[in-house]
Amino acid sequence: MTDHMPDKSSADAPDWEALLKGRFIVFDGPDGSGKTTQFRRLINLAHSHGIKTTEVREPGGTPIGEQIRNILLDPTNEEMVTKCEMLLYMASRAQLIEQKIAPALSEGQLVIADRFISSTLAYQGTAGGISVADILRVGQIALGDYWPDLVVVFDVDEQTAQTRLNPLLDRMEQKGKEYHRRVRKGYLDQAEADPNRYLVLDARPSADNVTADLLSNLSQRLAAKL
Ligand code: TMP
């Protein structure tokens, strides 16, 4: 990673402090996209520039959210219907916003989320069959004014994703190939509909190459929002 970190002293290096402070960035993508590795790397970059961060993961991130996460991912909860799934993810999110995201943004921290409403739109929406309009209606209640500045989608085909997954699959990961093909399409459809808020990266190359691509695109996209 360090070899891909821009040199702080070089004149044309991005001003990461100006770019990242007070931002709300989401990392998202299909299971096995490698987004969590990139998530850790961006946090390290922010810290190396003295930027305070709040990192959250969904579902979860609060004591109540972690309890909801256990219900959602428990493989014995096979009978759970998609509407219940959608509302539980959104309930966990509402708690997370009030307890962690809103206070951190008000202090000018970088908030970086591993998944957010973009996951609900892809999994329970495009893959699960609930309409975008319905999800956005519930999303208005859960999110209020806290919509992300940028959603980075780590795009990967099902075959590559499969090779990166832990063999002990959770309830969502067990849903099969066709479901995960629709999940991927869900992300790409969102990005097409809202190109200003979404950045799609090819997540197939090595982690170091994806990081280099991430940092160069991130600096450009955030500079445009200054
Ligand atoms: P994780 O494996 O990235 O921790 O995510 C947990 C699983 O939950 C993953 O399979 C994606 C799924 N998920 C949804 O189906 N809808 C959502 O809104 C969120 C946040 C996650």
Ligand 1 pocket test, candidate residues 74, 93, 123, 173, most atoms within 8 A of CB: 123
Report if residue 40 sits inside a domain.
yes
Measured from the CA of 92, which atom of ligand 1 is nearest? 20
Residue having the nearest C-alpha atom to atom 19 of ligand 1: 119
Length of the chain: 226
Q: Model-level pTM?
A: 0.92
Angle at 172 between CA 206 and CA 43, to 5 degrees: 45
Report if residue 216 sits inside a domain.
no
Residue having the nearest C-alpha atom to atom 8 of ligand 1: 172
Dihedral through CA 90, CA 67, CA 27, CA 191, nearest 10?
Answer: -30
- Residue 123 Cβ inside 6 Å of ligand 1? The answer reads yes
Distance from chain centroid for Cα 140: 18
Report if residue 92 sits inside a domain.
yes
Report if residue 3 sits inside a domain.
no
Q: Which amino acid is residue 4, in one-letter code?
A: H
58 CA to middle of ligand 1, Å?
A: 7
Domain that holds residue 134: 18-206
pLDDT tens, position by position, 62-109: 999 999 999 999 999 999 999 999 999 999 999 999 999 999 999 999
50 CA to middle of ligand 1, Å?
A: 30
Would you write out the chain's pLDDT as a tens digit for each of its 226 residues?
444 454 445 667 899 999 999 999 999 999 899 999 999 999 999 999 999 999 999 999 999 999 999 999 999 999 999 999 999 999 999 999 999 999 999 999 999 999 999 999 999 999 999 999 999 999 999 999 999 999 999 999 988 888 888 777 787 777 788 899 999 999 999 999 999 999 999 999 999 999 999 999 999 999 998 8
- Residue 31 Cβ inside 6 Å of ligand 1? The answer reads yes
Q: What's the count of helices (H) and strands (E) in the chain, helices before strands?
A: 10, 5
Res 172: pLDDT: 78
Give how many domains the chain has, as a whole number: 1
Measured from the CA of 115, which atom of ligand 1 is nearest? 20
Measured from the CA of 128, which atom of ligand 1 is nearest? 15
Q: Which residue, among 114, 115, 96, has the nearest Cα to 105 in the 3D structure?
A: 96
Res 11: pLDDT: 66
Query: CB count, 10 Å around CB of 159?
Result: 10
- Residue 155 Cβ inside 6 Å of ligand 1? The answer reads no
Report if residue 201 sits inside a domain.
yes
Report if residue 129 sits inside a domain.
yes
87 CA to middle of ligand 1, Å?
A: 13
CATH assignment at residue 108:
3.40.50.300
Q: CA-to-CA distance for 196 and 211, rounded, in angstroms?
A: 21
Residue having the nearest C-alpha atom to atom 9 of ligand 1: 172
Helix orientation angle between 82-96 and 63-73, rounded to the nearest 10 degrees: 160
Report if residue 141 sits inside a domain.
yes
Contact 24, 102 (CB under 8 A): no
